[in-house]
Amino acid sequence: MTYVEIYTDGACKGNPGPGGWAAILECRGVEKVLSGGEPLCTNNRMELMAVIKGLEALNRPCRVKIISDSKYVVDSVTKGWLFNWPNRGWRNSLNEPTPNKELWQRLLLLLERHQVEFVWVKGHANNPKNERCDALAVAESLKYS
């Protein structure tokens, strides 16, 4: 199985507000950069979209390491919340509807296809690829300002 590292980040000017996401994929020394945005969204939505778009760009099942500064995304997967939400009728521990349900559903399908490890990194802490993702995501958000 091919190994891929995907750095991701999301940004939002206001929350909600114009947002952007970015993903940097690395495989066998080759890099692919993806980015996009939405005119009205939340930061969490953009963080999640970056992961989804990165995984959707893979054309066959891969072993993937997602590197993200989003506790929202990383904790939802690594602490198992994502896998409990469908069984709870897409309601969180407070019995409230799970935000971004349609994106989490897309991610679940991608996690069935790929072997994915999620790693959290501190944002704005001199991690070059995380900083690049941040700059790309912010630039995308500014397109809608």
Report, as residue numbers or ranges, the catalytic residues.
9-10, 47, 69, 124, 134
Report the 10 Å Cβ neighbour count for 40: 12
Contact status, residue 91 vs residue 142, Cβ threshold 8 Å = no
Three-state DSSP at 143 gives coil
Sequence-ordered list of residues with C-beta below 8 angstroms from that of 75, at least 6 positions apart, any chain? 81, 120
